[in-house]
Amino acid sequence: MLYLIFVTIIWSFSFSFIGVYISGQVDTWFAVVMRVLLAFITFLPFLRFRNIKLKTLFLLMGVGACQLGIMYFFYYNSFQYISVPEVLLFTIFTPIYVTVIYDLLQRHPLRLSYLFTAIIAVIGAAIIRYDHISANFIIGFLLIQGANIVFALGQVGYKRIMEIYPMPQHQAFAWVYFGAVIVATVGWLLFGDASKLPTTILQWSIIIWLGVVASGICYFLWNFGATKVDSGTLAIMNNVVIPTGILVNVVIWHQSLDWLRFILGSVVIVLALLLHYKVKNRSLS
């Protein structure tokens, strides 16, 4: 749980960094390929070929392709159509995707109690940010939902892989990032715009920070933390970044905020997490 909380705090800055300094100024595919490449380089010393089944290797690469490569394409492009707060708003559906996908992968009936608490978390997030929606919200919404689905598929898939094929996770994540690099590189070669490379030290610094810290270290910690909690907790924690991300956007970039909605929504999300634990403990007793 502590891993997920720590990563949430770090990721809270990523939304504003991308929305303010990267989106529309730096080519999307270049930003994606640099981010995952730096993450891969960070974990390159842990890349191992021995004692890893070929099937496991490809599954891990598939996780990276979904959770990082494809997800970032949807995610970065969404900032061209919607604002940072709207991006945060539209991520509220991730908990539902996490819950549903995990149950599907386990091939057992959907646990309605997990889905119920995830929906409560969605309501809490909606309270925070459901106000003005821009004219391009449909495109932005669809892009974010694409990002949400592949992000959920990646983290849940990783959790299942570690349950079925346990291995040192720092070694596993080297292959996850390698899969992301392959997808992002192909995307850059096919669709990249070489005329829109970073032009300032600040942009390069943000890309390096996003690659090494927000992706390289934090995605590892997030997926590592995902293996330590149940799918219900994981689903709800996906929405905690919404109030923290908005708070960063308000405090540092001085965006306006309805504090009443912010507090009420945050309380609802916390209550969803507490309710989930209560339901979980009752089912175990």
Block means of pLDDT (10 residues each) for the chain, length 285 residues?
Answer: 90 89 90 94 90 91 92 89 80 79 79 77 73 69 90 89 89 92 93 92 95 91 86 80 86 79 82 78 67
Distance separating alpha carbons of residues 39 and 52, to the nearest angstrom: 21
Number of structural domains in the chain:
1
Long-range contacts of 262-267 (CB under 8 A, 24+ apart): 262/128, 264/124, 264/127, 264/128, 265/124, 265/125, 265/126, 265/127, 265/128, 265/129, 266/124, 266/128, 267/124
Predicted local distance difference test score (pLDDT) of residue 27? 93
Q: What is the pLDDT of residue 195?
A: 92
User: In which domain, by residue range, is 111 found?
Assistant: 2-284
pLDDT score recorded for residue 231: 75
Provide the pLDDT for residue 179: 95
